[in-house]
Every structure is written in C-alpha cells, then in structure tokens.
Amino acid sequence: VSGEGYPSDSEPQTMSVYLRVRPFSKEEVNSCEDQECVVIENDQTVTLNAPKGSATMKSSEKGVGLSIHKFSFTQIFGPDTTQIKLFEETVQSQMSDFLNGNNALIFSYGVTNAGKTYTIQGSPKDPGILPRVLDATFHHIRGHQYDSMDIKPHLRNDAQFLTSEQVKQEKSIKAAVFASCKESDTLSVSLRSRSSSFMVADSTVKVDGGQFALWVAFFEIYNECVYDLLQPALCSKSKKRAVLRVCDDGAGNAYVKDLRWINIMNLSEANKILQYGNKNRSAAATKMNQCSSRSHSIFTMKLLKIDNDAVKGISEFSLCDLAGSERCNKTKTFGERLKEAANINNSLLILGKCIMALRNNQADRSKSCIPFRESKLTKLFQSFFCGKGKASMIVNINQCASTYDETLHVMKFSAVAKQVVQVILEKPVLLSPCLFGRDGKPLVRPGTDSLAMEGYLSEDELLDEEDEADMSVMPQDELLSLVENLKSKLLAERRKNLVQEMEIRKEMGDAMMQQIMESEELRSREMEELKESYQEKLENTFEMYKEAIKEHAYQSAMRNLEDDYVSLDEFTAEQEKVEGLKICHTWNRTSTYDFVLTEERCKRLYKEKSALETMCESKQQVFEYNLHIFLFKSSLSLLNYCFPADHSKSLEDVLLQNIEKDKEIEMLKEQLEKSLKSSPVQLRPKRGLLANIKDAVTSPRNSSSARTLRKTVRAFTSLRMFLA
Ligand SMILES: Nc1ncnc2c1ncn2[C@@H]1O[C@H](COP(=O)(O)OP(=O)(O)OP(=O)(O)O)[C@@H](O)[C@H]1O
C-alpha cells in the first residue's frame, strides 16, 4: 500500500478484482430464477437490474436508491468461461510472482452457492485454480526438487532445519495422511493437458540451478477459531478439535502456531492432501451440525528455494475460499447459528473495514488505523495488504433473482476493493528468511552480526498477547507487575471486545429491524389489497342490487301503466265527438226544425261528456297514486338496503301510510268501476302502452290527456334518475 519508506520504483496498482458469473442450474431455470438480473455489458462492465419483489426494487419504488447498478471489474468471466481460461487470465501474473519468490493471495468472495469452491477447487473432471496452481508449480520445479525433507517452513516467513528424528516424524505424519486417501490419477491426467498453455506462456520464471521444496498447509477459520484440516479427524463425538492460535512472529507477521505443514512431491500427493482436508472439513461440519460454507478455508503453499543446503528464499501462495457472505437476516439464524453468522459477518465486515480503510488512507493522507487485528482472517492477510505480496479477489455471483439483494451487497463490497491501491515491495534483503537450526535457535549466517541475531526469540519465547508465559519460575515482584500488566491488557481487551460486540449487535439489530420493517410493509400491503378487493366486491353487489331495483321499478311502472291507462285514441275520439256535438248544438239552436229533439240529444251528450271527464279524472288520479306508491316503495327498498338498522322505524311509518293509500286507491277504483258501469260509453280495445305515451308526448294538441301523459313521463324519467 502506498506509504512512506517504499521503494520509488514500486509501481502502485489497484487490486485485481475479477468477477465470475456462474451458469443457472436446471432447478433454477425451472423455478424462474432467470429474470435477467445480471447483464454483462462487456469484458469489464456488468449491469445489475433489480427484479420485482427484491428489497432493492422496493426501495427504488419508494424513491430510495436505484433499481439499476453498474459495476466495473478488472475482468468479467461469463457463465460459459472454462476453468482453464479463468486460471490463465487471473492467476498467471501471481503464479509467476510465486515461482520467482514473491507472495500471492487469491480469495474468492460471494454468497453461498455462487461458485466459490468450484472456482478455487473445481471438480475432479474440471479442476479449479488451486489444483492448476499446484500442477504448474510441479511442472516448474520438475527435476529440481529437494527431497530430503529436512528444511521446513517456520513461523511466517522463515525456515527451520530438522533433525533426522524430526524428519522421521514428518514422514510418518505424511504417511498417515496419505494412508486414508484413495489414489486419484484422473486429476493429474486432466490437468497435464490443460495447463500446458500456461506453461508455454510462462517464460519469466527463473530456476537458477537451485532446488525447491513445496510444503502445504490446509486450515479453516470457523467462529473465529482456527482448525487444522490436516490433523486426523476425531473419532469421539465428545472430543473437541484443537483450536490453533494466531501468533506474531516478532516481526509483525501473523502466523498459525502448531499448524501442520506437509512436504509434497507431486500432484498426486497434493490431490491427497486436498481430499484429506476436505474430508476433515465436512466431517467436522457434520459433527457440529455446521454447513461447510460457514467457514473460511485457506490452502497455503510455501515454496522454499534451497541452494547448497541454505534457504535462499521462501514464497507463499494462499488461496482462500471465504464463507458465504449472506447476512444473518436471510439465514434465519438462532443460537449457535446466530453466533456463527455473527462471526462470519464480523470477519467479512472487518475485511471490508480494512479494505475501506486502505482505500481511504490512499485518498487522504491522514492515515487512520487499519483494523487488521480485529479478526483472525485479516490478521493473517495483513502482510498482503501491506506490500508483502499481491492479493487479488475473485467475486463469484449467481444470476438468481431470489438472491439479488445479497449479490448486490457483494458487488458493492467488490467495488470498494477494486479501488485499493497496492504497492508491491521488491523483497528487500531484510525480508529474506531467517533460518533456525535443529535446536530451534536462529542460525548465524556468515557475515551477520551475532548480536543482531540474539534479538531473535524461539517460537516459545515469542511475546504474543495470545501466548502464556511459564510463571512458576518468576520472582514475586515480577509476578505482581506481570499481573498488573495482564490486568490492564485484560481491561483493554474487554473494552475492545465490548466495542466489537456493540458493533456486531448494532449491525445485527439493524438487519433484524430491516427485516421486521420489510415484513410489516408486506403485511400492510396485503391488507390494503384485501380491503380493496372487498370494497370492489361490495360495490359490485351494490350495483347488482341497484340494477335489480331499477328493473323491478321499471317492470312495475309498465304493469301499472298497462293496467290503468285509457287508450289515447279512444280519449281523443270521445273529445272529437263532444266537439262535434257542440258545433251541432250551436247549429241546431239557430234552426227551428227539430229543436226540441236536438236539445234532448245535447243534454244526453253533455251527460255522457261529463261522465267521460269524471272517468278520465279518476283514471288520472289512480295513475298518480300508483306512481306515488311505486316511488315510495322503491325509495323504501333503497333505504332498507342502504340503512338496514337505523331507519326501520321511519320505514314502518311509511309502509303504514302506503297501506292507507292502497286502501284509498281501492276505493277510488271501485268508484271508477261503478261510474263505468253506469256510463253508456263502451271503451274501445287498448293500443300498445308505449305507442300511447309516444302519441301523447308528441301530440301538438294541448289537451289535458296529453298534459297528463307528459307529466307521467316526466315523473317516470325523474324516477329513473332517482334510482340511477
Ligand atoms: N462456473 C460454473 N459452471 C458450472 N457449475 C458451477 C459453476 N460454478 C458453480 N457451479 C456449481 O454450482 C454449485 C454451487 O457451487 P459452489 O459449491 O462452488 O458454491 P459456493 O459459493 O462455494 O457455495 P458455499 O459457500 O455454500 O460453499 C455447485 O454444484 C457447482 O458445481
């Protein structure tokens, strides 16, 4: 990382962050996970489109945040990318660094089921980066292998000479590990042909006549505890796996104390080590009811360059398969699971914090503290972020709509990582390995100041906050001061833990709160939809009833009109007759002939006329009554429908009034019938009701019958309007 004291020729470069998008599985296609959430624009740009129902889409609908996000990467590998292409285009430069004595780190990051393990380890038929790195390494050192097994990696960057007894021990450990593994040649066969393209391209690696020894270790970090995956699995359920400590080598480099390192000679042995470690990992996971993706697994290779029984250089290549980055609110975690999620989140959170702090330190020169020591993972990776090796990240994502929000979170994290600038230091002489003798004491090289070497402590003497000193041999006052010292350390540690716990609690609290709010919002939306559907149903029913009442009212009105109306033709004919008689009467008065006879006839006709007029009036009254009754009845039905309880009393009153009106009508009808019987006028057969109404309304004559009909039509229209 850029900073004072680095050589001026060290080229700053941003951390390489690659993206690999895995293809859909058949099940995912069947369950409609493909909603075009991930669109690869070109080799370096990808667009993420939030699917319907995702939290991102909901936030964008509320105007908080966007539904489309664009990200750029060092290189993007689509679903069709082969393992060999990925290896050649991502690992090539780091592979050369490693073979030339520099350190390298690759870590895969992503949610569960995004393809991290597939990318790092692959399958026996299609090996991932790790077997290919091993294969390329063996290809490189072939014919130059140091096979005595008596020089072993020590602490973080150093080496130790082993006694013959120790070599025997190493050999028996290796034999025990291999004894439980099956021979598998398929991997090496499939790799041989495929990684040849890398070998051809690899012309920068120098062998310089020395010899090489490759030592490997495989461990995992679960719940902030380091476990060796190359230790034999425990048979008894009650026995706990040994937790290894992360210590400081005295030069500020963290290393895993008592970690098993195994010297391997070929790819077949490397494959057995991988098999053994993976078996141990899944056995431990099953025993603890844990899912393997809940731990970070780290495979480390150390390449020792040996010349004339002296170690000239040590380089390290670590490949880390990080735990799934999903947040605790999605994993429905309780108890142990919650602790597990909190620890995963914590280490990934601290990794994120470190990356963020590195980026910020580059942006503004006021250097803030980078919290590497807050988690085991970042403690072990610290040197890579401080110029002692090149780190690169492979971000794995799936394209599933259901995990979109988590994928977006991963992409945001990667966007920050991509801005981290690394300044890789040329390995200075001081960083070349310190050698330890067979007694565990540092070896004095010719030309090295022996006083300077006295500063080195053996592994057991190294001061580390996690190490315990042997107190039984110490004088009392030293013990007391040690106790004081430890007390203040404990206090500081407790404070640090408290702050850390508060941060985790806050993050988890926030996540839970967000989940509660999301489910609350979902529930209220469902309630709203339910309310709307009921409202709609109610309105439909109401409309249905209204239509039925209208229909009923119309039918009743029609029936009443048919029953009680006198044909207009008939009425007009009668009137014309009366008019004619009037004229005749006037004409007859001037004539003397047959005067008496005409007068009598006139009287009779007048009588008939007045009878007819009475009849008409009665009929009109009957019609009007019927119309009023009908209107009352309709209003009543409507009121009863709308206000069933509150108006029952007033409705009863109206009904009583109606009954009285009905009686009145009956009486009037009887009178009318009587008058009709007494009337000598014979009624002509009725014409169609509607034709009568039409005639009356369109008639130019302003006769009383026409007026009556027009009034009726108006009443009928207002009734229809009232009902509508
Ligand atoms: N590029 C790919 N091509 C074909 N299949 C793939 C690819 N990447 C992943 N897969 C398949 O997808 C599934 C999930 O992959 P993998 O186990 O590597 O995910 P992961 O991210 O490591 O999950 P976890 O965090 O749970 O360990 C596996 O069945 C794997 O074979």
Domain membership flag for residue 519: no
Of 389, 411, 433, the domain-final residue = 433
Structural domain span for residue 408: 12-138+161-433
| Helices and strands, number each (H, E), in the chain | 21, 20
SS3 content of the chain, % helix, strand, coil (to 5): 55, 15, 30
| pLDDT for residue 429 is more than 50 | no
In this prediction, residue 507 carries a pLDDT of 82
Confidence of residue 718 (pLDDT cuts 50, 70, 90): low
Confidence of residue 425 (pLDDT cuts 50, 70, 90): low
The verdict on whether residue 353 carries a ligand-binding annotation is no
pLDDT in tens, 314-327: 999 999 998 886 65
Ligand 1 mutation target, pool 18, 26, 112, 117, most atoms within 8 A of CB? 117
C-alpha closest to that of 103 among 426, 502, 443, 444: 426
Distance from C-alpha of 228 to C-alpha of 217, rounded to nearest angstrom: 8
Domain membership flag for residue 529: no
C-alpha closest to that of 467 among 489, 451, 436: 489
Number of domains into which the chain is organized: 2
The verdict on whether residue 17 carries a ligand-binding annotation is no
In this prediction, residue 437 carries a pLDDT of 63
90 within ligand 1 shell (Cβ under 6 A): no
In this prediction, residue 701 carries a pLDDT of 46
Long-range interactions of 369-377: CB distance < 8 A, separation 24+? 374/350, 374/500, 375/224, 375/346, 375/347, 375/350, 375/351, 376/221, 376/224, 376/225, 376/226, 376/246, 376/347, 377/221, 377/296, 377/320, 377/322, 377/347, 377/350, 377/351
Ligand 1 mutation target, pool 20, 21, 22, most atoms within 8 A of CB? 22
| pLDDT for residue 712 is more than 60 | no
Do residues 293 and 300 lie in contact, with contact meaning Cβ atoms separated by under 8 Å? no
pLDDT in tens, 265-286: 998 899 899 989 988 887 666 5
Q: What mean pLDDT do residues 6-26 have?
A: 75
Of 416, 433, 450, the domain-final residue = 433
In this prediction, residue 687 carries a pLDDT of 46
Would you state the structure tokens that stand for residue 152, as one six-digit string?
A: 């072993």
| pLDDT for residue 105 is more than 50 | yes
Domain membership flag for residue 251: yes
In this prediction, residue 86 carries a pLDDT of 94
Distance 398 CA to ligand 1 centre (A): 9
Distance from C-alpha of 518 to C-alpha of 511, rounded to nearest angstrom: 10
The region of weakest confidence among 217-231, 270-284, 555-569 is 555-569
294 within ligand 1 shell (Cβ under 6 A): no
| pLDDT for residue 434 is more than 50 | yes
Run of H or E including 311: strand 310-321
Domain membership flag for residue 520: no
Q: Kindly report the number of other CB atoms within 10 A of residue 20's CB atom.
A: 24
Do residues 143 and 303 lie in contact, with contact meaning Cβ atoms separated by under 8 Å? no
Q: Which amino acid is at 287?
A: K
Distance from C-alpha of 583 to C-alpha of 589, rounded to nearest angstrom: 10
Q: Kindly report the number of other CB atoms within 10 A of residue 356's CB atom.
A: 18
Domain membership flag for residue 225: yes
| pLDDT for residue 22 is more than 60 | yes
Confidence of residue 485 (pLDDT cuts 50, 70, 90): confident
Report which ligand 1 atom has the smallest distance to the Cα of 324: 25
Distance 408 CA to ligand 1 centre (A): 18
Percentage of residues of the chain with pLDDT beyond 90: 20
Distance 593 CA to ligand 1 centre (A): 128
Q: What is the pTM of this model?
A: 0.60
Do residues 681 and 574 lie in contact, with contact meaning Cβ atoms separated by under 8 Å? yes
| pLDDT for residue 468 is more than 70 | no
Distance from C-alpha of 558 to C-alpha of 73, rounded to nearest angstrom: 81
In this prediction, residue 529 carries a pLDDT of 92
Would you state the structure tokens that stand for residue 135, as one six-digit string?
A: 């294969």
The verdict on whether residue 114 carries a ligand-binding annotation is yes
Confidence of residue 644 (pLDDT cuts 50, 70, 90): low
The verdict on whether residue 447 carries a ligand-binding annotation is no
In this prediction, residue 354 carries a pLDDT of 78
Q: What mean pLDDT do residues 228-242 have?
A: 77
| pLDDT for residue 3 is more than 80 | no
Question: What angle in degrees, to the nearest 10, is found between the helix axes of 129-141 and 267-287?
Answer: 150
Would you state the structure tokens that stand for residue 258, as one six-digit string?
A: 């008592």
Would you state the structure tokens that stand for residue 218, as one six-digit string?
A: 């495989």
In this prediction, residue 329 carries a pLDDT of 46
Distance 116 CA to ligand 1 centre (A): 6
Q: What mean pLDDT do residues 674-691 have?
A: 53
Domain membership flag for residue 308: yes
Average pLDDT, the chain: 76
In this prediction, residue 440 carries a pLDDT of 61
Ligand 1 mutation target, pool 26, 40, 118, 393, most atoms within 8 A of CB? 118
CATH number, position 95: 3.40.850.10
Distance from C-alpha of 676 to C-alpha of 682, rounded to nearest angstrom: 9
Report which ligand 1 atom has the smallest distance to the Cα of 120: 18
Q: What mean pLDDT do residues 679-684 have?
A: 48
- Tell me the backbone φ, ψ of residue 203, rounded to 5 degrees: -110, 0
| pLDDT for residue 160 is more than 70 | yes
Residue 645, classed as helix, strand or coil, is coil
pLDDT in tens, 289-307: 455 567 889 999 999 998 8
Q: What mean pLDDT do residues 458-469 have?
A: 48
C-alpha closest to that of 229 among 176, 167, 282: 282
- Tell me the backbone φ, ψ of residue 601, rounded to 5 degrees: -65, -40
Distance 396 CA to ligand 1 centre (A): 9
Distance from C-alpha of 708 to C-alpha of 697, rounded to nearest angstrom: 9
Residue 322, classed as helix, strand or coil, is coil
Q: What mean pLDDT do residues 44-57 have?
A: 90
pLDDT in tens, 127-139: 999 999 999 999 8
Domain membership flag for residue 438: no
The region of weakest confidence among 437-441, 513-517, 673-677 is 437-441
Would you state the structure tokens that stand for residue 313, as one six-digit string?
A: 């250089």
Most confident stretch, 105-119, 314-328, 546-560? 105-119
Would you state the structure tokens that stand for residue 405, as one six-digit string?
A: 């929000």
Domain membership flag for residue 109: yes
Q: What mean pLDDT do residues 427-438 have?
A: 56
Comparing 132 with 571, the larger pLDDT belongs to 132
77 within ligand 1 shell (Cβ under 6 A): no
Of 388, 408, 433, the domain-final residue = 433
Distance 257 CA to ligand 1 centre (A): 32
Confidence of residue 647 (pLDDT cuts 50, 70, 90): very low
pLDDT in tens, 352-382: 777 777 777 666 655 567 777 778 888 888 8
Distance 118 CA to ligand 1 centre (A): 5
| pLDDT for residue 79 is more than 90 | yes
Same domain, 429 and 569: no
Distance from C-alpha of 159 to C-alpha of 162, rounded to nearest angstrom: 10
| pLDDT for residue 722 is more than 60 | no
In this prediction, residue 528 carries a pLDDT of 92
